[in-house]
Chain A
């Protein structure tokens, strides 16, 4: 199925540019009732988020809400509050309410399968956001790649160590994320896949930071104690909350040296929370590999609107990430990418112009081109 969609996705814009296609009902008209086109104001989209206890998921939710509002789509919003069974029930309720499409941010990729299958039987398209389901039919999976982001952070660390010592060597502390979650595992795996190639870079402590600053603070304090005789060169953090704990522990132990000092401990991290951006600006943190959950979520809403009208949509959308450090945090490029966490309370919708250059990826993650004018209604 996904293969067919990808092909269609690649061909579709060309056909559209040429003369307008007969295969897509009433494209271009913002829906004056012709064919089976549903106008935005008649659409209802259901959205279930795994939890709101982390700024990232607040960003996802904000993106879904503000795009739905901007397009005039009715949104039914559910928060599963971290419980896989609650989420399963919520999706069943959305199916019973006959929403037109479901945007799903699953807690558990396996546990959600029956609920997805139920939506499939009711012919309600399901779009997964940030995490997917391992079964059932998924119309599109929109996300950033945790593995790639952690690899990028790890490569950055390797580059800094190479700069410091002339060759890739040194001592790194690894503060893992919550290892019971898929991002926690993927990031740890991604980090190790890069670091294990450098025999002279030693991971002196691997400790759970659990995506929690308090836990990370204690873990980093322990790591500093356990390696009293060793000079720690850098810390890899499963996310920015871990990084905050690490930074405070380093400062509390009196080991903080400003960026540029030969004794500086490099802090590499992932996500791009507002606190991380503030820490980068103040010189406490070196970098973060920022995602953009708000735009990912806005894309998911637009994809849902398209698929409701029977238009082909890409099966895989990998949103790009960007390495943010003190050198580029104020740059136009960073602004164009979007420092999402600084924008959480801004009610204006932001992404539609950018959607025009949305890359298309195959299910293997290989870019197969960029998507031109998928969002016919939205761009009006």
Chain B
């Protein structure tokens, strides 16, 4: 973080940090040891949003008899798996008061590069690993220039959005990469015990991410740095190292999500991810993570992701026309967040 930025917003940050602390304190007071994991994953402040999600689901369930089938519920989870995995990484970054605009472009470039390797007879496992490695390397770049070099992460990742997305088009000449071995598609199209592998990866990413954030020293430092970078630095936290790690988590998860996205279609598309950035950030923010950093949880993000997924799936099943689909999504997301904000204000008053 640049010195100027920290000084300018220092006041706000302190407020945010103290808010965050008091909130997490109340969370801990409520928590009984056995319920602690859940209590922290879906804390009580998300109840209005969860209630809204349940209402929305009930509506779709009543209007369409296929909505509440087991098959459709795994369909929803599988449909949001790419979005959800990106949102896990983005939650880390936003908790740190940064932003990663490059996740969609990482999806594109690591997809076309790893698929091209598989197409040219590189062993499939290595090609798949390369997808994640490319994401990690881009994350390292983003983190280094945002935290060691002191550039705004918004600009660094905006440049990367353009660079990586552009390179994906250059490498492929705008065409889809396809025809690689079918085993490359495992994460995107295989099922395990009747459930898509992508759902296991989605759930795994949230569970591991949640454990890391809440129960490791690194996780707590993410909140501390996001809440107040200066205070964190003064208390001996290596802010640069935390920043680089967080962007690598975001990049690496984007690389992992690529393998699902590519595998599902048996094609790596150079324009993949161009429309996924805003929903990713939206899911994180709908879930209650503050864009100023230091406040939020992966449980909230999960609810945000589900809200977007249920809305897409429910509207599609109800056969709403394409134009209305988009408008209705805007209204529903607005109402969800408005109810949430109202509830937060009430809580703050009492």
Residues in A lying within 8 Å of B, measured CB to CB: 52-55, 57-58, 176, 179, 205-208, 212-215, 217-219, 221-223, 225-226, 228, 241, 244-245, 248, 251-252, 273-275, 278, 341, 344-345
Contacts and interface: CB of A to CB of B under 8 A. Distances in A.
Interface string B54-97: 00000000001010010110010001001000000000000000
A226 B174 contact: no
Nearest to A209: B322
A223 B75 CA distance: 11
Contact of B319 (A54, A179, A205): A205
A344 B266 CA distance: 21
Nearest to B107: A214
Given A228-B66, A275-B267, A222 B175 contact: no
A58 B317 contact: no
A222 B313 contact: yes
Contacts of A214: 82, 261, 264-265, 269, 272
A213 B66 contact: no
A248 B316 contact: no
B189 interface: yes
Contact of B269 (A207, A213, A251): A213
9 contacts: A179-B322, A212-B271, A213-B265, A217-B265, A221-B75, A226-B66, A226-B316, A226-B318, A274-B176
A252 B71 contact: no
A55 B176 contact: yes
B178 A275 contact: yes
A340 to B, nearest CB: 12
A243 B66 CA distance: 24
Contact of B264 (A212, A222, A248): A248
A226 B317 contact: yes
Given A213-B265, A222-B313, A248-B265, A208 B325 contact: yes
A19 to B, nearest CB: 47
Contacts of B261: 214
Contacts of A208: 322, 325
B316 A344 contact: no
Given A53-B169, A248-B266, A278-B178, 17 more contacts: A54-B271, A55-B176, A206-B321, A207-B322, A213-B176, A213-B267, A214-B264, A215-B275, A217-B264, A225-B69, A225-B71, A226-B317, A244-B176, A252-B189, A275-B175, A275-B178, A344-B173
Interface of B: 64, 66, 69, 71-72, 75, 79, 82, 169, 173-176, 178-179, 189, 261, 264-267, 269-272, 274-275, 312-313, 316-319, 321-323, 325
A245 B267 CA distance: 9
A176 B322 contact: yes
B50 to A, nearest CB: 23
Contacts of A278: 178-179
B253 to A, nearest CB: 17
A177 B50 CA distance: 34
Contacts of A217: 264-265
Most chain B beta-carbon contacts within 10 A, residue among A206, A212, A218: A218
Contact of B316 (A57, A219, A245): A219
A55 B264 contact: no
B267 A225 contact: no
A54 B174 contact: yes
B37 to A, nearest CB: 31
A52 B171 CA distance: 13
Contacts of A225: 66, 69, 71-72, 75, 313, 317
Nearest to B269: A213
A344 B319 CA distance: 38
A228 B64 CA distance: 11
A225 B314 CA distance: 11
Nearest to A204: B319
A207 B189 CA distance: 22
A221 B174 CA distance: 26
Contacts of B179: 278
A222 B75 contact: yes
Contacts of B272: 214
A53 B270 contact: yes
A219 B71 CA distance: 15
B176 A221 contact: no
A293 to B, nearest CB: 12
Among B82, B174, B312, the most chain A Cβ lie within 10 Å of the Cβ of B174
Contacts of A57: 174
B267 A223 contact: no
A226 B175 contact: no
Nearest to B190: A252
Contacts of A248: 189, 264-266
B313 to A, nearest CB: 6
Given A213-B269, A275-B267, A207 B173 contact: no
B194 to A, nearest CB: 11
A207 B71 CA distance: 20
A252 B190 CA distance: 8
Contacts of A53: 169, 174, 270-271, 274
A275 B176 contact: yes
